[in-house]
Structure 1
Amino acid sequence: MSLLSNLLHIDLFKNPNQIIAEYIWIGGSGTDLRSKARTLEGPVFDPAKLPKWNYDGSSTGQATGKDSEILIYPQAIFKDPFRKGKNVLVMCDAYTPTGKPIPTNKRSKAAEIFSHPKVVAEAPWYGIEQEYTLLQKDVDWPLGWPVGGFPGPQGPYYCGIGADKAFGRDIADAHYKACLFAGINISGINAEVMPSQWEFQVGPVAGIAAADQLWVARYILERITEIAGVVLSFDPKLIPGDWNGAGAHTNFSTKSMREDGGFNVIKEAIEKLRLRHKEHISAYGDGNERRLTGNHETANMHTFSWGVLDRGASIRVGRETEKNGKGYFEDRRPASNMDPYVVTSMIVETTIL
């Protein structure tokens, strides 16, 4: 293992013109991430200067064996916290050889929405609260829980400390620092209500970059759990019963909402969200019906509601926003496994377009 460690830490950067670029894309389930690396001339800071690449879509559930080539287009670059140096992580989206977005490429439509002049003028900002659960690798059971059993009831775990309350802090903290190194605008982390469940927040970030950053933050987290021998889950209701589910609460504001009189703009936007509630729910993540029951700090998925400080509402408005008459609102409906390209673009489409 010491030899392996030494090899992994070989300093390649005496040649400043070579980098390793790890191309990342979304797989056939729409929630899994795939990646592969290539050597390029560098350094590179602009994704437009990176070459397009391809992969075997028949092995990711995105093409047939007779027509398996899928092209990936570089869209965003981040510093690589694993290889360090001038190496990069590259977030890509996927196309057929004729240039048509494949069905799991939700970024392409999102980019169209975010480039609309009305959206550009409103400069939308996002802050996404990504919850996740850590599992013991060999038994598929939450980290720190007794195998085949349960810990004490919820209460002491949220933002808790101690070996009997916080399970996996080293992973959460390593992820925090790795994201900062990568250039992701990660704004914080905390232990969540269910033991072995954690949350990180990405934002505020403008436009489609919020979704790019969340996807790459997920990638970094899964690479870290791979190293730690722990399994990462974004299931929105992993443990049935009296345990909190996992969401991806999405905080949103526009230029008009952030200016004087913005609270009225927020209320108008919330009414637009009410009218498209069913459409949003259908696009906000798989298995969300197990989470949005009206219990455990959720609103029932069949009813739309909003309120100031109400964590049991579909849309929550903060006290400071009400007090200042401007600010942002929080959409609490998205599940932890949602596609951020879908959620961010759908919110802006509903409220602006």
Structure 2
Amino acid sequence: MTTPPPSFLTRFLHARLALFYSLLRLCLAVLREAAVLAVKSDNGVVSRLEDLLKLDMAPFTDKIIAEYIWIGGTGIDIRSKSRTISRPVEHPSELPKWNYDGSSTGQAPGEDSEVILYPQAIFKDPFRGGNNILVICDSYTPSGEPIPTNKRYRAAQILSDQKVIDEIPWYGIEQEYTLLQTNVKWPLGWPVGGYPGPQGPYYCAVGADKSFGRDISDAHYKACLYAGINISGTNGEVMPGQWEYQVGPSVGIEAGDHIWCSRYILERITEQAGVVLSLDPKPIEGDWNGAGCHTNYSTKSMREEGGYEVIKKAILNLSLRHMDHISAYGEGNERRLTGKHETANINTFSWGVANRGCSIRVGRDTEKQGKGYLEDRRPASNMDPYVVTSLLAETTILWQPSLEAEARAAKELQLQV
């Protein structure tokens, strides 16, 4: 017996029901999309800024955006502004000089406020993409004299000395930094007005209760690689909310350019994340590690056979100019260099093999192989890399102590050179 065909009414109801479910699925999909967009916008109003920020200009114009970056009057604040360049460039010499209002950055009086920017190094812009660039600049008076806060100029003089060039100085800089909550200026991941558990589980840690700010660290890592910065690694630090990244090995003035550009990129990323970046060498008083900028250093002679003796001679020179270096190694460093928390006392020079409580640390491999590098553990996280790198080269390559001072220092440090 055959089943009779469905009636017209049944077919009609089935069709209506199918249409209803189709419309319901479509409405749910639209609502989900609207919810996602609303989350990304302020007050539930859909914003198209993200689409505009991602615009690729290359198919429509040869013009690019150059972000001119310089160091402000405090010696640690980073400033920048943008200008249009008519075509892509490959070298800073192709870029025009520019100017800024030095009275607004603490670098010139109001009645003669024009400061001139000289482009010195170019990096790819990870924020705008395409052919757009970041430009590291230093600052001069209209007559061409470097202004007092232009530390790059003096560093370039030292690092371009033929004796220094012949030694091919390598630098590996370990930049530590602390992430702070925006409104309370308290480390990221810390309870407001309170403290987390003691140090120990946070260094290179994994987990929501131990690692705070990994997304910022990872974003910065990738952005630096994109920009062409010689970043070599990153890790969570001993104090929760504190991180480190390493730049190098870099040769000569390049080390300072790369650190300053990496700091700029980090400032921009934390700005977007709504987190405050701190380079204070001791952001939290008490039984917490400070933030340093350990600088690994070697010369061609140190890296060759017999280099260990050259390293010991460099350490001797560094001991004789200890306070000269300390005075140039960052503001507030006396709060960090206490002799505790993996630091040496600020007033006493010391060195040792594999000893992180010394002013200068020499690695086990360097001692074993008889050549390699030294690590200057004194620089603070807010140090100027132009100052530190050039001062290391000056003290260990260009400066010659008296024989009497050398003999006395060798005896005190138990160095045979």
| TM-score category, normalised to shorter length | over 0.9
| TM superposition shift of 1:12 | 1.0
- The letter for the 2-side match of 1:110 is A
Mapped partners of 2:324, 2:348: distance in 1: 13
1:214 paired with 2:259, answer: yes
1:4 Cα deviation after fit? 1.1
1:1-353 equivalences in 2 (<5 Å):
1=41, 2-15=47-60, 17-353=62-398
Percent of aligned pairs sharing the same letter:
73
CA distance in 1, matches of 2:60, 2:107: 37
C-alpha separation in 1, matches of 2:224 and 2:90: 17
Structure 1 residue 16, shift from structure 2 partner: 5.1
Counterpart code for 2:392: I
Number of residue pairs aligned between Structure 1 and Structure 2: 353
Whole-Å Cα distance in 1 between the matches of residues 221 and 243 of structure 2? 11
AA at the equivalent of 2:343 = T
Partner letter of residue 83 of structure 2? R
Report the TM-score when normalising by structure 2.
Answer: 0.84
Spell out, residue by residue over 1:231-283, the C-alpha distance to the aligned partner (whole angstroms, 9 max, x if none): 00000001000000000000000000000000000000000000000100000
Provide the alpha-carbon RMSD of the alignment: 0.6
Larger radius of gyration: 2
Q: Once the two structures are superposed, what CA deviation does each residue of 1:140-183 show, in whole Å capped at 9, x if it has no partner? A: 10001000000000000000010000000000000000000000
C-alpha separation between the residues in 1 aligned to 2:184 and 2:177?
18
One-letter amino acid matched to 1:236: P
Partner of 2:33: none
Unpaired runs of at least 5, structure 1: none
Distance in 1 separating the partners of 2:119 and 2:345: 39
Classify the secondary structure of the residue corresponding to 2:111: coil
Q: Which structure has greater helix proportion?
A: 2
3-state secondary structure, aligned to 1:66: helix
Q: State the partner residue of 2:10.
A: none
Q: Which moved more, 1:270-279 or 1:11-20?
A: 11-20
The alignment partner of 1:294 has SS state of coil
* C-alpha deviation, 1:15, in angstroms: 3.5
Alpha-carbon offset, residue 41 of structure 1:
1.7
Give SS of 1:263's match.
helix
CA distance in 1, matches of 2:296, 2:190: 31
Amino acid at match of 2:211: A
* SS at structure 2 position matched to 1:176: helix
SS in 2 for 1:141: coil
Q: Any idea what SS the aligned residue of 1:232 has?
A: strand
3-state SS in 2 of match to 1:135: strand
Q: Distance in 2 between matches of 1:344 and 1:37?
A: 29
Distance in 2 (alpha carbons) for counterparts of 1:26 and 1:324: 40
Distance in 2 separating the partners of 1:298 and 1:135: 23
Q: Distance in 1 between matches of 2:303 and 2:62?
A: 44
Amino acid of the structure 2 residue aligned with 1:211: G
* Higher relative contact order (Cα pairs below 8 Å, separated by 6+ residues): 1
Letter in 2 for 1:37: S
Structure 2 segments unaligned to the other structure (5+ residues): 1-40, 42-46, 399-417
Whether the 8 Å CA contact 1:16–1:43 is kept in 2: the answer is: no
Q: Which runs of 4+ in 1 moved over 2 A?
A: none
More strand by share: 1
What is the rounded CA distance, in whole Å, between the counterparts of 1:322 and 1:43 in structure 2?
A: 48
Counterpart contact for 1:246–1:291, Cα < 8 Å: yes
Conserved in 2, the CA contact under 8 Å of 1:18 and 1:43?
Answer: yes
**What SS does the corresponding residue of 1:142 show, helix, strand or coil?**
coil
SS at the partner of 1:320? helix
Q: Aligned equivalents of 1:86 and 1:15: distance in 2?
A: 13
Q: Secondary structure at the match of 2:191?
A: coil
Q: What CA deviation, in whole Å up to 9, does each residue of 1:85-110 have, x standing for no partner?
A: 00000000000101111111000000
